[in-house]
Copies of this chain bind each other. A is one copy, B any other.
Amino acid sequence: MSRNVSASTVRRLSHYLRILEQFERAGSVTLSSEDLAEAADTTAAQVRKDLSQFGSFGKRGFGYPVPGLKRHVQQILGLEHAWRIVLVGAGRIGAALFEYANFRRRGFSIVAVLDADPEKIGTQWGDVTIEPVDTLADVIAREQAEMLILSVPNEAAQPVADQAITAGIHGILNFAPVQLRVPDGVFVQDVNMVMELEALSFDLSRSASKRP
């Protein structure tokens, strides 16, 4: 049970969890590292290495119990309780994220929405009302929020992040294509769709030049 877990391992655990749920729905009671590997597009050795960092969940000769392993992975990822999230930026992307059913379904609840545009303040979105961004600290305290989703214009990203961190937020999902500066103990995940398209552009350009 090691100290440092790599980002790739965490990504794969998340992937394993989705696959375990599929196997569970399909009625499987047990599965092997080989089964998991095939579904996750990796190798059996990789699956076993990943899991063995956190404990010994399988039985030699048998494989892993589906419901038991699922619970363990959830516990490893910290998914035993629902996370309370504040969303800042009620633009097009913010709206799509708010409606995104997979979040709530998987234990991520958006409990408040804030925006800088006075026109939007007071608008009702489902069961939340859009509040002014300058009440961020109060809202975080009131809702006991632990994470922040940032879908604001680039210039606003760092100042809003700073306020949220001061108010006690430790995790940020950042959609602004800027490099946020945060203190130790605060975690940022960037979602940068232009970067993804540029990676595709790179791959396509190279493969096109290799094959006439």
Contacts and interface: CB of A to CB of B under 8 A. Distances in A.
A49 interface: no
Interface stretch (A55-63, A93-101, A134-142): A93-101
Contact of A146 (B14, B41, B77, B204): B204
Contacts of A99: 92
A185 interface: yes
Contact of A191 (B193, B203, B208): B193
Interface string A74-93: 00111100010100000011
A125 interface: no
A15 interface: yes
A146 B83 CA distance: 39
A187 B200 CA distance: 7
Interface in A84-126: 85, 92-93, 95-97, 99-100, 102-103, 106, 108
One complex includes copies of this chain to the number of: 2
Interface in A187-206: 187, 189, 191-206
Contacts of A198: 10, 13-14, 17, 77, 79, 106
B187 A207 contact: yes
Contacts of A177: 18, 102
B78 A197 contact: no
Given A14-B199, A171-B200, A201-B78, A93 B100 contact: yes
19 contacts: A10-B199, A14-B199, A15-B195, A76-B202, A77-B198, A77-B201, A78-B204, A79-B198, A92-B96, A102-B177, A106-B194, A106-B197, A108-B194, A171-B200, A173-B193, A173-B196, A185-B207, A187-B204, A191-B191
Top-8 shortest CB links A-B: A78-B205, A171-B200, A96-B96, A187-B203, A189-B196, A78-B201, A92-B96, A14-B198
